Structure formats: structure tokens, C-alpha cells
Amino acid sequence: MSLKIYTNRCKGCGICAAFCPKKVLAVNELEKIEAVAPENCIQCGQCELRCPDYAIFVHKEGDEK
């Protein structure tokens, strides 16, 4: 699994963190999103789906993209 976060696009709204069922994401002191527990990610894609700024992408195992 690969979680790609484009911090230059992130405005720190926290929507992705709010929808993460495993609490993988959190807004840091710089008001940007970061993966605080990437080992807990279940690749549900809620963060990617909910991000209004297209700042986060989930590449599932076996994806060739």
C-alpha cells in the first residue's frame, strides 16, 4: 500500500482524517495532513474520496498506476 500526500495542495481542513476509520491521518502543527499510523491503513480510500483538494491518493497493492 502506498499513501501519497501532496502537502503543497493540502490546506489542512482535516476532512480526510475525520473520515478515516482507522485514524491513520492527522493534521500536524504546520496545518498539513500526515500519516501518523500508516501501518493501520486498510486502503478503504475514504481519504482520497473526501479530499476537496486532491491532495491524497491511495495506491492499493497490485495497482500498476
Whether 60 has a pLDDT exceeding 70, the answer reads yes
User: Is the pLDDT confidence value at 25 over 80?
Assistant: yes
Instruction: Judge whether residue 61 has pLDDT over 80.
Output: no
Domains of the chain: 3-58 (3.30.70.20)
pLDDT mean across residues, the chain: 92
Which alpha helices (DSSP H) does the chain contain, by range? Answer: 15-19, 46-50
Q: Count, in order, helices (H) and strands (E) of the chain.
A: 2, 4
pLDDT at residue 59, as a whole number: 87
DSSP structure class, residue 59:
E
Q: Mean pLDDT over residues 16-28, rounded?
A: 97
